[in-house]
Structure 1
Amino acid sequence: MDLDLRLVRYFVTVADELHFGRAAARLYISQPALSKQIRKLEQQLGVSLLVRDSRHVTLTPRGKRFLDEARALLAIAERMQREHQPDVLRIAHIFELDTSRVVADAYTAARGDIRLVERALDSVGQFHALLDGLLDVAIMRVTPRLVAEHPTGWRHRLLRLEPMRLVARPGDPPRETVSLHERPIEVFGDAPGSGLYNAHGEYLTAFEGETGVALRWLGTPGAFSHCLAALNRAQGQAFLFEFGSYADKYALAGVPVHRPAELQPHYPWSLAWRDEHLPTAVSDFLDIAVDTAHRRGWRQFDPDAAPGWLPADDPVTAEITRSDVPPPARHEPRLDSSP
């Protein structure tokens, strides 16, 4: 029997998520197509790997054993490929956010002999691709859940604290700051229970819970052009809670962008890598990324804004406390809901 490694990777993703919708989103295929591929793998093996019902996905006893075997198989296959590609480094980007692109540009300028292979993956997708040996370095948000569920086998380091901004409606007057309570706050994010809830969504949920600011979840349009089109179609007055690197694009398109008046949320991006002996290409990438962060002041809270905010349980908080970066602001009680 010739075992298709692609089907094995599909199974590992479903086993990680225990949810076909989330797994399909990570793999960028449809849910019916993923279900079909998993059935094909089970037919090849002659065993049932998963138990499915309308609400839950669980591993069978054979599925649990096969998961360990599948991870080992994928790791071996990846090591075999890497040994023949010492001049290749694999990274990923999250939509059109600029952190990974800036680092990739700096790396290519310094190591023109290394060929970058680039993909598009969200934070959780990057993390699992990293552990499966499909990426060499991840630039992602490290979440409390990832740290709790995967305490060993990888390492991470804070790379950037990206300020979040409030994007107004086209035609609104320019202002330096606005209150978080002046208008409803909208987000391009997938809400809990959507089946596509991710590391970005967990950050937004923490923001709601700690500040008392309710968010309108609009889903994830993807590329900036789709986000701008959605903003231009929007009805009613609201602010869009957006990454700073996207906010710069809105400003170039003539849309007003403001700093929050009460506090300044920052989105933490981290480098992540496997806890193993690192090839020179990988260690150089990490060194160049850290140097880029220091030169650009990425590990600092925005000095021109209100006190910085991060989720209270964010794993990078410990790094900030240990460094020369001022600790994030904690607000007790929750923000006053009055304008």
Structure 2
Amino acid sequence: MDLDLRLVRYFVAVADELHFGRAAASLYISQPALSKQIRKLEEQLGAPLLVRDSRHVTLTARGQRFLDEARTLLSIAERMQQENQPGVLRVAHVFELATSRIVVDAYTSARKDIQLIESALDSVGQLHALLDGLLDVAIMRVTPQMLADRPSGWRHRLLRLEPMRLVGRPGDVPRESVSLHERPIEVFADARGSGLYNAHGDYLSAFERHTGLRMRWLGTPGAFSHCLAALMRAEGSAFLFESDSYADKYAAAGLPVHQPTELHPHYPWSLAWRDEPPARPVADYLDIALETADRLDWQRFSARTSAPAWLPADDPAAPELTRR
């Protein structure tokens, strides 16, 4: 799902006014145009946000929850919005995943003269922020839908193939590898139709189709501490399907971490930047990111297991790997 910040702003204006006419006037657009854009947002989210009649506008329960999320998103966007100064670089992280943090650490060590402004956004949010001029460079998962919806204006290049692993329950016997079919598989992600489905969910859906699994989708708790707490209080036997970045954190917390026996999934992370001559801070960031990837051998499938490596068949990273 591609969430347009413009539509989010329109919704917040209507929610503030609870009146389409006043909201349209504040946005300098017509009332019919505003109504059309709000319907488009509701279609994207898969749920009504507003209840309308001839005299009143009220928020649905989903609309009230989304309003809080929308204000947070717009606050982040406003914080990132500033003139493109030569001594400033704006980047974002996907939760506490390690890839972008490792690159940022390498960049700040090499370019101490650059002020770094960091925010947290998922892959879709990063792409929108990048194209809206709110980010200078992104580290994200590129999906086929992104390329279909935004075929121009940006470029991307594979940065890392991050292995995926299976996390057991407290007290499980440590094992090097386990079968994907031994226990139910759980994921911290939002399912299709939830209104919060994103690039991560798209990857997991492709994994389900390939393996024939029907995983348990548990939502997105957010920070690792919330994920760990949810896993510690979980009941029943299952494996959590998780990225290497988080799997290492679970292992440090004492939970067993295993390799899947049947195949070895990898999550592709890409650099993305606007299709224009990059300013020096951006060019240096791209160079340092790729140097880091080469030093850490990120652009090869992991050799931890003899199981065949896997990516979604239509993943934009696949042609780049084939060329290599």
Give the CA deviation at 1:218. 0.2
Matched-pair contact (CA < 8 Å) for 2:88–2:114:
yes
Unaligned runs of 5+ in 1: 1-10, 16-22, 25-30, 58-73, 324-339
Q: Could you say which residue in structure 2 is the equivalent of 1:318?
A: 319
Give the CA deviation at 1:43. 2.2
CA distance in structure 2 between the aligned counterparts of 1:292 and 1:150, rounded to whole angstroms? 28
Unaligned runs of 5+ in 2: 45-76
Q: Could you say which residue in structure 1 is the equivalent of 2:43?
A: 56
Q: Which amino acid aligns with 1:50?
A: S
| 3-state SS of 1:270 partner | strand
State the Cα deviation string for residues 164-223 of structure 1 (Å, max 9, x = none): 010000110100000000000000000000000000000000000111111100000000
Q: Which amino acid aligns with 1:36?
A: A
Q: Which amino acid aligns with 2:15?
A: K
Identity of aligned residues (%): 63
Q: Could you say which residue in structure 1 is the equivalent of 2:64?
A: none
Q: Which amino acid aligns with 1:284?
A: D
Q: Could you say which residue in structure 1 is the equivalent of 2:24?
A: 42
State the Cα deviation string for residues 121-164 of structure 1 (Å, max 9, x = none): 00000000000000000000000000111111100000000000
Does 1:197 pair with 2:184? no
Does 1:258 pair with 2:258? yes
TM-score, scaled relative to structure 1: 0.78
| 3-state SS of 1:81 partner | coil
Give the CA deviation at 1:12. 4.8
Q: Which amino acid aligns with 1:115?
A: Q
Q: Of the candidates 77, 83, 89, which is equivalent to residue 81 of structure 1?
A: 83
CA RMSD of aligned residues (A): 2.4
Q: Could you say which residue in structure 2 is the equivalent of 1:309?
A: 310
Does 1:215 pair with 2:215? yes
* Structure 1 residue runs of 4 or more that deviate by more than 3 Å after TM superposition: 31-35, 37-41, 52-57
**Between Structure 1 and Structure 2, how many residues are aligned?**
280
Does 1:158 pair with 2:158? yes
Give the CA deviation at 1:50. 3.3
Q: Could you say which residue in structure 2 is the equivalent of 1:103?
A: 103
Q: Go from structure 1 to structure 2 and tell me whether the alpha carbon gap of 1:190 and 1:14 turns closer, same or farther (over 3 Å shift).
A: farther
| 3-state SS of 2:83 partner | helix
Q: Go from structure 1 to structure 2 and tell me whether the alpha carbon gap of 1:236 and 1:156 turns closer, same or farther (over 3 Å shift).
A: same
Q: Which amino acid aligns with 1:43?
A: A
CA distance in structure 2 between the aligned counterparts of 1:56 and 1:272, rounded to whole angstroms? 28
Give the CA deviation at 1:304. 1.8
Q: Go from structure 1 to structure 2 and tell me whether the alpha carbon gap of 1:153 and 1:32 turns closer, same or farther (over 3 Å shift).
A: closer
